[in-house]
Amino acid sequence: MPKATRRAGKARRAAEPDVRKLVVRGEDNFFAIPPELATFERARFVVMSAPFEGTVSYGGGTAAGPRAVHTASQQVELFDEITGAEHITRHGVCTLKPFNTRCSAEELTMGRIYPVARQIVAAGKFPILIGGEHSVSPGAVKAVAEGWPDLSIFHIDAHSDLREAYHDDAYSHASAAARMNEYAPIVQVGIRSREAFEPGRPDKPVHCYHAFEYNTPGAWMDEAVGKLSRNVYLTIDVDGFDPSVFPGTGTPEPGGLSWYMGLDFIKKIARSRNIVGLDIVEVAPVKGTQVTEFAAARLLGRIIAFVSAWCWNNKGAV
Ligand SMILES: [Mn+2]
């Protein structure tokens, strides 16, 4: 074998680190839980951080998002009064060191996030990804889609993100849903900013619930959840919520989901489907206030509770 080829082969293997070597030791983990509950072996949830803002088109700051959510999570009460239990310590949450994000969006999500997420899914654990801009998500979705057949995506966002490419970059944040759509059909809610024509893939439909029409609780929420298949990946751009809930985000749009409407959606999904992966992206902390990152940490804690309480005891059939 020529020398150059052998070297290339070695480089590829080096780019796929063992997930166990990325684990944060000690108490500076998500939710500040005892380290013995945060090992890869013990924990059923595993949190990846991707502090990336390579392709943002307007306000910046998302590179600081994951660490801010990490720090805020350490102030979140571990008991969940909605489900009546302390799921975070019961099931354990493993924190991974942040990805090195000095690379293209494509290299980050496909070359770095995907192989780690794949190992998490293969170990039977629940992958969580904290961004960073939305371009980090497709690699995690790919790993989950390979591990879970019959996957669909529930997508909370102000933006449809279905452009085939943006500024010639197919892995731009504005193309995140187009890339995710390669792996699964999508149900979008909160959408209030889009290109006129973004058809999605014919074999994997995209159902869009625009915010101008669907902005208050109603039967449409059950209809939207009804379009999801058995296994569901949640991708949550915090700008899908109203800016009063998440003011710190790159492209805030007025008129999004209320806090409780968002939670109700996720509750409905957890009660009737099997949620198998999650990302929360586009947190851009605002100096002098912790509102955004604390809300994101709280959302993460709630979703962990809903998955634990309902998906993992789910007797319902779809
Ligand atoms: Mn968005």
- Compute, in angstroms, the gap from residue 71 CA to the centroid of ligand 1: 23
- Rounded distance between C-alpha atoms, residue 75 and residue 174, angstroms: 32
Instruction: Examine residue 217 and state whether it is found in any structural domain, yes or no.
Output: yes
Instruction: Examine residue 3 and state whether it is found in any structural domain, yes or no.
Output: no
- Compute, in angstroms, the gap from residue 158 CA to the centroid of ligand 1: 5
Return the closest-CA partner of residue 20 out of 2, 1, 38: 38
Taking only the tens place, the pLDDT of each residue in 100-118 is: 999 999 999 999 999 999 9
Peptide bond into 132 cis (omega under 30): yes
Helix H or strand E segment including 75: none
- How many domains does the chain fold into? 1
Taking only the tens place, the pLDDT of each residue in 4-29 is: 444 444 545 555 789 999 999 999 99
- Compute, in angstroms, the gap from residue 212 CA to the centroid of ligand 1: 16
- Compute, in angstroms, the gap from residue 239 CA to the centroid of ligand 1: 5
**Would you say residue 317 has pLDDT above 70?**
no
Q: What is the CATH number of the domain that holds 204?
A: 3.40.800.10
Q: What is the mean pLDDT of the chain?
A: 92
- Compute, in angstroms, the gap from residue 36 CA to the centroid of ligand 1: 36
Instruction: Examine residue 165 and state whether it is found in any structural domain, yes or no.
Output: yes
- Compute, in angstroms, the gap from residue 172 CA to the centroid of ligand 1: 12
- Compute, in angstroms, the gap from residue 231 CA to the centroid of ligand 1: 23
Phi, psi for residue 147 in degrees, rounded to 5: -90, -25
**pLDDT in the model for residue 318:** 39
- Compute, in angstroms, the gap from residue 286 CA to the centroid of ligand 1: 17
- Compute, in angstroms, the gap from residue 276 CA to the centroid of ligand 1: 22
Q: How confident is the model at residue 164 (pLDDT cuts 50, 70, 90)?
A: confident
Domain containing residue 80:
15-311
- Rounded distance between C-alpha atoms, residue 145 and residue 6, angstroms: 31
Instruction: Examine residue 134 and state whether it is found in any structural domain, yes or no.
Output: yes
Instruction: Examine residue 297 and state whether it is found in any structural domain, yes or no.
Output: yes
- Rounded distance between C-alpha atoms, residue 247 and residue 29, angstroms: 25
Query: Considering the entire predicted model, what is its pTM?
Result: 0.93
Instruction: Examine residue 221 and state whether it is found in any structural domain, yes or no.
Output: yes
- Compute, in angstroms, the gap from residue 91 CA to the centroid of ligand 1: 31
Sequence-ordered list of residues with C-beta below 8 angstroms from that of 110, at least 6 positions apart, any chain: 138, 139, 142, 171
Where would I find the beta strands (DSSP E) of 45-176? 45-50, 93-95, 126-131, 151-156
